[in-house]
Structure 1
C-alpha cells in the first residue's frame, strides 16, 4: 500500500519554498505538535472543546506565519500563539461563566480512577490563579519548559517568570492544602 499523499518519503527532497513543500512540512509539524498543544490548551482553559478550538486557531495562525515560525522554534511559536489566542478569546467573548472553585460541582463517585480526581483537583486549583500565573505554571511546571523558554514564549523577563511562578505556587499550595516545603523549619 502506498504512503498517504501528505507524507513524503525520507529519500524524497521537499522544496519548502514551494506551496506544496510548505504544506507538507507544516502538516508534519501540526501532526507532531497537536497533542502537546492540546494538552497546553486544556490546561489553560479547562474545557476540552475550547481547547480543541484554541489548538485549531493557533495552528491556523502558525500556518499563516509559517516562514517566520519555522525560522526559529515552531513549537514555541505555536505555544505563544496559543497563549495569546486564549487571552484574545477571553477578552473578545467574555461569555465564560466564571465560578468560584468551591462552586464547581464535584465529580460523580462512580469508582473513577484517582488520576481523573487528581486532574480535576488540578484544574480547579489552576482556575484560582490569574491568567498570567496560570500560563507561567502550565508552561514551566506542566510542560517542563525552562524559565528562559517561558520568558521567551510569553515575551517577559526571566525575573517576571520567577516571581510569577513563585506567587502562583504559593497560591496553589494554599488551595490544594499542600504544606509549604519550608513549613516546620526554623527561619
Structure 2
C-alpha cells in the first residue's frame, strides 16, 4: 500500500468515525427501520470510499455523503421488485431511544412521520430534521424546489390531521437518535 493510499484511508476513516452516527440517524428517519438504515449507511459509505480521491477536497463532504444516502434510499423505493424483509427477532438495543437533547415530544410524532409515504418522509427528514433549505433538499432528492414545497405541505397536513394542530410543531422534529 502506498503512503498516499494510507493517508487517504486514514482521512476517510477519521471522517467516517465522526459522521457515521449522524448518517445512521438520518438513514433511520428515512427508512423507519434500524436494519435498513444500517444497510443504507454501509452502501453510502462504500460508495463514498470509492469516490474519496475526488471528493476529499470538496467543500462539503457531508453534503456529498447525504446525497449518496438519499439517492440510495430513493433507488430502493423506486425499484419495481422492491420487497420488505420482516425481522422476526429484535433485541431491545435496536429500538430507537430518546437522545439527551430530546425535548419531550411523544413518540406518536415519529410514528406518524414513519407512516408518511417515502418521498414525503424524505422531505420532512431533510427539511426539518437535517434543517436543509428547500433548495438543498431538492438537490439531495433530485427533484424541483416546488416538489419539495408541495411534498412538505402534504406531509405537514397529514401530520396535523393525525396528531392534531396544537400537539406539535416543526421544531419538534429534532432531537431523535437511533442508538445501537
Common fold, TM-score beyond 0.5?
yes
For the 8 Å contact 1:80–1:153, the answer to whether it is kept is yes
Query: Which segments of 5 or more consecutive residues in structure 2 lack a partner in the other structure?
Result: 87-96, 169-180
Shift in Å at residue 124 of structure 1? 2.0
Aligned residues, how many? 150
- Are the counterparts in 1 of residues 29 and 114 from structure 2 also a CA contact under 8 Å? no
Larger-Rg structure = 1
Larger relative contact order (CA 8 Å, sep ≥ 6): 2
TM-score normalized with structure 1 length = 0.68
Separation (CA, whole Å) in 1 of partners of 2:167 and 2:106: 21
1:33 aligns with 2:25: no
- Is 1:158 aligned to 2:145, yes or no? yes
When the two chains are superposed, the root-mean-square deviation of aligned CA atoms in Å is 2.8
Q: Do residues 124 (structure 1) and 111 (structure 2) align? A: yes
Show structure 1 runs of 5+ residues with no match.
1-14, 98-111, 182-187
1:106-156 residue CA offsets vs partner (Å, 9 max, x unmatched): xxxxxx98x699463233212332211111100110111122221222222
Cα shift readout 1:23-55 (whole Å, capped 9, x = no counterpart) = 111111111111110110111112222212211
In the alignment, what sits opposite 1:95? 84
Mapping of residues 1-187 of structure 1, within 5 Å: 18-70=4-56, 71-90=58-77, 91=79, 92-96=81-85, 118=105, 120-179=107-166
The TM-score normalised by the length of structure 2 is: 0.71
